[in-house]
């Protein structure tokens, strides 16, 4: 078996390769040895096919071979070790001290299980940048990755397959429509409801209750029929968990496993926040089963929902979010996460970022969809998502966590169309490091970033940001000039002066 610890070389088809290390459970799903179909088999097949077609790299770590060697079934172990020879083996990486420190562990902790050791050695491959992504369906390993800031670089099989599907051809594919209907219009036989019936025995009685039939529901349709996602809301001003003001309850929030990796959860959250803003709601809450719905808990908490002390009679967590800023002082990013989107801290600095129409159309397809383009199915998660990334070669180094960024669409519109809030930035000449940093959030492929780095004289600047709102009608070039936001059409990232910043904050607060 060949051994390699590098990534980012040219693929045979002329594009740059993306590298993945497979955890044991991902490897087993891609190479099933029993007659029982693995639940993730279809995603593993897609990942293998796209990787082969596009020239990407699938690796195994020595820790995975050790895990296979621990299998008590000798026949299955022998078969899996034989199948593992199809993959290139990375050099072993011992968990470095800074990774262990980030996890709150010390080297070789007393009583550490063999599974812990294997997990840490596999996670170390991503920490040390031996590969771009770790592919695993292990929730515990994913939680560890999130704790050390590697959450965006750990993918499930479904997410890894969706990532490569999005790289087949860079073209304008707007996000899917989120269709608003009444609850009684839903098809109760759709497969999406299967797990809901298991979790809630009273589901059918609730679903058929005429008193609840008029509640609003939003669905994302599968192209082949059926639902890819569903959200049902309940309007309330009197509930046992959140006592003040008008409160929305998210009574159902579900994305089917087949649609994971497309940021449909964030697409539904966009709809939720828009509905809450337009309706003048004071807060939102949702109840979830913490153990079964880890992904959902992580999604909601990442967008400002906080766990309340109380639990439901079924033992569900109650997660709530206020939409009314209080008198606490929060840093600009924390302010946005806590009370938005949309929510821009009134003391944040403002920067203008020029973006050409081609990249704008792909990064912000919902703006284009507003009366400009047809809505259709999308595999491009960054178009659906609220968390995005932008890469350029600007010399600006003044962007900071929490800065407000306004995107100026050049050439055709010549106007500010979108507002965002910066999460993080990275300046680096290595396109591999930038690609790992921006992960699934960007419109750029590794090949695009490599070409950009080769053509320019400056290192790449990557900006992770959250979309706050669309500006409709857009702020025209003339308007921006009149209010001191810009003097001329911006050619690079520019900090807005005091007068222009004051005007922008007044517009966003209105």
pLDDT of residue 372: 40
* Burial (CB count within 10 angstroms: exposed 0-12, middle 13-18, buried 19+), residue 43: buried
CA distance 339 to 350: 19
pLDDT of residue 376: 36
pLDDT of residue 468: 96
DSSP state of 257: G
pLDDT of residue 381: 53
Residue where the block lists tokens 């053509």: 455
Digit-by-digit pLDDT tens for the chain (510 residues) are 333 333 333 333 334 578 999 998 889 888 876 555 555 677 888 888 888 888 889 999 999 999 998 888 888 889 889 998 999 999 998 888 888 888 876 555 444 567 788 888 999 999 988 999 999 988 888 888 888 888 888 888 888 887 787 665 444 344 457 888 898 999 989 999 988 888 888 888 888 888 888 888 999 988 788 899 999 998 876 666 666 678 899 999 999 887 766 788 898 999 999 889 888 888 999 999 887 888 889 899 999 999 998 787 788 899 999 999 988 899 999 999 999 999 999 999 999 999 998 888 888 888 764 434 333 334 455 567 899 999 988 878 899 999 999 999 998 899 999 999 999 999 999 888 888 888 767 667 777 788 888 887 789 999 999 999 999 889 999 999 999 999 999 999 999 999 999 999 999 998
CA distance 77 to 98: 34
pLDDT of residue 409: 95
pLDDT of residue 240: 66
Q: Which positions ≥6 away from 166 have C-beta within 8 Å? A: 379, 380, 381, 382
Query: Among residues 482, 357, 489, which one has the least CA distance to residue 412?
Result: 357
Q: Quote the pTM value.
A: 0.72
Query: Among residues 443, 464, 445, 456, which one has the least CA distance to residue 492?
Result: 456
Is residue 22 a contact partner of residue 156, using CB atoms and an 8 Å limit? no
How does DSSP assign 107-158, residue by residue?
SS-TT--HHHHHHHHHHHHHHTTSSSEEE---HHHHHHHHHTT-GGGEE-HH
Cis omega before residue 234 (within 30°)?
no
Residue where the block lists tokens 């800031």: 149
How does DSSP assign 165-195, residue by residue?
HTTS-----PPPPEEEEEGGGS-TTSGGGHH
Question: Which domains does the chain carry?
Answer: 3-165 (3.40.50.1010), 178-324 (3.40.630.30), 350-509 (2.30.130.30)
CA distance 80 to 65: 9
């Amino acid at each position: 078996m060949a051994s390699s610890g590098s990534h980012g070389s040219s693929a045979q088809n002329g594009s740059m390769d993306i590298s993945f290390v497979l955890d044991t459970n991902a490897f087993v799903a891609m190479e099933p040895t029993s007659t029982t179909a693995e639940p993730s088999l279809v995603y593993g097949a897609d990942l293998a096919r796209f990787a082969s077609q596009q020239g990407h790299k699938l690796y195994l770590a020595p820790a995975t071979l050790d895990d296979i060697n621990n299998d008590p079934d000798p026949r299955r172990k022998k078969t899996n070790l034989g199948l593992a020879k199809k993959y290139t083996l990375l050099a072993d990486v011992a968990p470095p001290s800074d990774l262990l420190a980030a996890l709150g562990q010390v080297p070789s902790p007393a009583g550490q299980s063999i599974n812990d050791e294997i997990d840490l050695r596999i996670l170390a491959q991503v920490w040390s940048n031996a590969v771009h992504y770790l592919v695993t369906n292990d929730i515990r390993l994913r939680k560890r990755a999130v704790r050390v800031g590697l959450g965006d670089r750990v993918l499930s099989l479904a997410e890894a397959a969706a990532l490569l599907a999005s790289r087949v051809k860079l073209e304008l594919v707007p996000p899917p429509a989120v269709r608003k209907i009444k609850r009684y219009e839903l098809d109760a036989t759709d497969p999406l409801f299967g797990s809901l019936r298991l979790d809630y025995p009273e589901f059918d009685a609730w679903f058929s209750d005429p008193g609840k039939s008029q509640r609003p529901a939003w669905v994302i349709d599968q192209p082949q029929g059926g639902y890819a996602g569903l959200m049902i809301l309940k309007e309330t001003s009197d509930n046992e968990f959140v006592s003040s003001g008008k409160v929305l309850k998210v009574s159902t929030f579900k994305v089917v496993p087949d649609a994971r990796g497309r940021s449909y959860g964030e697409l539904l959250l966009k709809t939720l926040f828009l509905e809450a803003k337009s309706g003048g709601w004071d807060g939102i809450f949702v109840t979830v089963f913490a153990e079964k719905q880890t992904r959902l808990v992580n999604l909601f908490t990442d967008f400002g929902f906080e766990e309340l002390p109380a639990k439901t009679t079924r033992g569900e967590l109650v997660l709530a979010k206020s939409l009314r800023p209080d008198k606490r002082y929060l840093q600009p990013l924390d302010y946005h996460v806590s009370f938005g989107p949309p929510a821009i801290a009134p003391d944040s600095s403002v920067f203008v970022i020029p973006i050409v129409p081609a990249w704008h159309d792909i990064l912000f397809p919902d703006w284009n969809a507003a009366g400009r383009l047809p809505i259709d199915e999308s595999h491009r998660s960054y178009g659906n998502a609220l968390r995005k990334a932008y890469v350029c070669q600007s010399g600006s180094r003044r962007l900071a966590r929490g800065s407000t960024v306004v995107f100026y669409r050049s050439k055709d519109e010549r106007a500010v169309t979108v507002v965002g809030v910066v999460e993080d930035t990275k300046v680096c000449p290595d396109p591999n490091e930038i690609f790992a940093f921006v992960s699934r959030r960007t419109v750029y492929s590794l090949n695009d970033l490599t070409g950009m780095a080769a053509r320019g004289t400056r290192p790449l600047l990557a900006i992770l940001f959250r979309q706050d709102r669309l500006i409709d009608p857009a702020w025209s070039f003339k308007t921006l000039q009149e209010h001191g936001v810009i003097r001329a059409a911006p050619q690079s990232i520019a900090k807005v002066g005091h007068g222009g910043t004051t005007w922008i904050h007044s517009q966003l607060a209105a």
